[in-house]
Structure 1
């Protein structure tokens, strides 16, 4: 794809260059707006060539040169990048309504039923309706608590698998992704869907969401996405996912729902909302599929990412591991397992997970927003239709806000009010404002329960130096490149 793009650019370069300078001249002569600083860019492709495989790191470096609020161009699309607490607060709180829209993204639209899901749908009445379904019916505190038995059962099964390994090598990464997948499957669909096929399908989906779509940023070159096979891959994954969810829904429709709320999964609840028309509008089957797909995209991938990075950091920092283990042993008091009721008595556990989210923000660049009207932001003029990225990864490593930001120090969160729920803009792993993630509690209770019990039940030792490698994978969600391989010894 990159080779084809280069041929097109260089063959058309003189004409493109003339148009570029003409446009620049006309813009400078007619516009008096005070735009944010911009790094130099190329005609047609803008700053695309600079982003590389880790755009959050590149954009952090740009912010250090040009300031915490910069205007870049991805193809022909102007993109505002915020890399400071003040800028993030202005966008997600002060002017939250102005920046609550989502831009049209080609690949996400193909996978999520023309963006009928919560995460990618445009701001408006439809989004408000499906967001209220999630908040009131799917992810409320009461609903999350109702699935406690699922979380505890799956955690217990994972601990049993580690014990049965009998101190042979354990692929902890594989066990953690299997656990998170099983929890989400049981909660959302009513049963496990084990085996690699479904997991591989979800992995392909996440990988595709992290791919750059030329057509989303250079509409005149949309043919490149077709020629490169990107659209074909997205359509193939979308088709497989649709067939899977179609079968799941048919299975739910054809069986009798149990009475009361006990035992109902999220598909049951959505079908009930559809049948009773409780929201005042018809909930179509595609909408149900899109909402459930959101649960998997957010619930599985980011939860697994946080758990894997937390264990990796604890294994690299034995003092922190020992501190957490002592807290777990004190709370567990020799019982077979730490229960969810015990988790609030573990402040160091909370601190470890917060510090992990700070250092390893699951989505380093939060999902893009789009301004719906002209607005003044930190003294700059931001035109309507500007895309916006919050570099949550850079904000979490800001030297002016964090002492020794590159170091893993859970203690920084002890007796510290900063939290990850969207009210403190120093820590934004789940976003904030109207577009903040509605499933924070669902994901974090899994993280707390699993991590607490892993250190409570076992002592771990790493296998091989490569397990200490903290290199990242590329994609919309950042994972650890090398799996965690350990020997697990039951705590005496």
Structure 2
């Protein structure tokens, strides 16, 4: 019993000392900061960000203005709630605001922070962003792949017409969006009728990537806001990530191997058929994975297996309008203030 009391006293003392240091640092910080709500010791303004986060942020902005300074644990953040403020930060000073902290989930599920979502701002990030923008979101590719979106929309309408009961529209819209994105990325749809994969593969995808993967990527992790507590896995999220990593890796590896075999078969078929119509059809069927596999053949050191798998996971989890429900998901209104170069390269 005495040991328990001494342990509790030790942790309380440490927390009080850390809180005092944080408050002193903020009080004597010479930088002029935007207005900020009253904060609590140690946790800062985390208690103000209740779910749904966008409602909480909107309430704070109405009280304190279009630019608000927040302390989320030991992290300093800004709320930008006006078009002018967002343009100032994200367009005029985009390079200053482009970086972000290293989130703990980026190690096991972000392939050691090498994916576009987790990697620091720099040449590697710009290369991945350019690749994704050109192959998925350029005007030419969007026009070329418009049939995918049209077919998914028609499929949604047919399912709604055929349904005799109530329809959960939010879930149906998510399925439509996810099918459209997965078709562009890996050439497959995983929801609804006429699946292009085995039902077992589709179920495993939904379980591993959607139910478990997205839940962990967008979970509130105390270690993201208190890096000095990295050794303490309070909510067990670290253990869950480590258990999930092999499942995600196996699924993505199997899919990559199947795609590689199809690429080899398609290359052999191209030697026999050089018609223009066949080339256009091949262009429509080209996916992001196909492009990265082709790049891997010419530059295997840059486009590694982990990079390809991580990019697949990033696009599938980040491009479907997921309800993140936490601070990491509110990118439109939440930005990290610029830091000095020494601080910006800190890896916590």
RMSD of equivalent CA atoms: 3.4
Residue pair 2:18, 2:42 contacting (<8 A) in 1 also? no
Shift of 1:271: 0.7
What are the Cα deviations for residues 184-231 of structure 1, in whole angstroms up to 9, with x where unaligned? 23222123334444234314333223321111111232244x242111
- Structure 1: where are the runs of 5+ without partners? 1-7, 306-362, 376-382, 387-492
> Using the alignment, how far apart are the partners of 1:222 and 1:73 within structure 2?
18
> Using the alignment, how far apart are the partners of 1:57 and 1:154 within structure 2?
31
Shift of 1:99: 0.8
> Using the alignment, how far apart are the partners of 1:238 and 1:81 within structure 2?
33
**Distance 1:102-1:368 versus aligned 2 partners, 3 A rule:** farther
Match of 1:87 among 85, 88, 91: 85
Structure 1 residue 198 corresponds to structure 2 residue 205: yes
Aligned to 2:260: 253
Residue pair 1:371, 1:385 contacting (<8 A) in 2 also? no
**Distance 1:263-1:134 versus aligned 2 partners, 3 A rule:** same
TM-score (norm 2): 0.76
TM-score (norm 1): 0.55
Aligned to 2:186: 189
Shift of 1:257: 2.5
> Using the alignment, how far apart are the partners of 1:369 and 1:231 within structure 2?
25
**Distance 1:366-1:282 versus aligned 2 partners, 3 A rule:** same
Residue pair 2:46, 2:73 contacting (<8 A) in 1 also? yes
**Distance 1:15-1:128 versus aligned 2 partners, 3 A rule:** closer
Shift of 1:250: 0.4
SS of aligned partner of 2:97: coil
Aligned to 1:297: 317
Residue pair 2:69, 2:78 contacting (<8 A) in 1 also? yes
Structure 1 residue 283 corresponds to structure 2 residue 292: no
What are the Cα deviations for residues 57-92 of structure 1, in whole angstroms up to 9, with x where unaligned? 223323333332222211122222222233212111
Residue pair 2:77, 2:337 contacting (<8 A) in 1 also? no
Shift of 1:26: 6.5
What are the Cα deviations for residues 427-468 of structure 1, in whole angstroms up to 9, with x where unaligned? xxxxxxxxxxxxxxxxxxxxxxxxxxxxxxxxxxxxxxxxxx
What are the Cα deviations for residues 330-358 of structure 1, in whole angstroms up to 9, with x where unaligned? xxxxxxxxxxxxxxxxxxxxxxxxxxxxx
**Structure that is richer in helix per residue:** 2
Residue pair 1:370, 1:385 contacting (<8 A) in 2 also? no
Residue pair 1:101, 1:369 contacting (<8 A) in 2 also? no
SS of aligned partner of 2:78: strand
Structure 1 residue 272 corresponds to structure 2 residue 280: no
> Using the alignment, how far apart are the partners of 2:333 and 2:104 within structure 1?
14
Residue pair 1:36, 1:70 contacting (<8 A) in 2 also? yes
What are the Cα deviations for residues 110-136 of structure 1, in whole angstroms up to 9, with x where unaligned? 322223222332111111111121123
Shift of 1:232: 1.9
Aligned to 1:135: 133
Match of 1:366 among 332, 339, 346: 332
Match of 1:115 among 113, 116, 135: 113
Spell out the pairing of 1:196-275 with structure 2 (5 A cutoff): 196-200=203-207, 201-224=209-232, 226-255=233-262, 256-257=265-266, 259=270, 260=279, 261-275=283-297
Q: How many equivalent pairs are there?
A: 311
SS of aligned partner of 1:301: coil
Spell out the pairing of 1:332-351 with structure 2 (5 A cutoff): none
> Using the alignment, how far apart are the partners of 1:23 and 1:189 within structure 2?
47
Residue pair 1:16, 1:44 contacting (<8 A) in 2 also? yes
Residue pair 1:274, 1:282 contacting (<8 A) in 2 also? yes
> Using the alignment, how far apart are the partners of 1:14 and 1:385 within structure 2?
30
What are the Cα deviations for residues 279-325 of structure 1, in whole angstroms up to 9, with x where unaligned? x96211111112222221133335xx7xxxxxxxxxxxxxxxxxxxx
Spell out the pairing of 1:392-403 with structure 2 (5 A cutoff): none
> Using the alignment, how far apart are the partners of 1:65 and 1:89 within structure 2?
21
> Using the alignment, how far apart are the partners of 2:52 and 2:162 within structure 1?
39
> Using the alignment, how far apart are the partners of 2:129 and 2:55 within structure 1?
32
Deviating runs (4+, > 6 A) in structure 1? 8-11
> Using the alignment, how far apart are the partners of 2:144 and 2:214 within structure 1?
28
> Using the alignment, how far apart are the partners of 2:13 and 2:52 within structure 1?
31
Out of 136-145 and 170-179, give the one that drifted further. 170-179
Aligned to 1:352: none
SS of aligned partner of 1:111: coil
**Distance 1:192-1:33 versus aligned 2 partners, 3 A rule:** closer
Residue pair 2:289, 2:308 contacting (<8 A) in 1 also? yes
**Distance 1:9-1:75 versus aligned 2 partners, 3 A rule:** farther
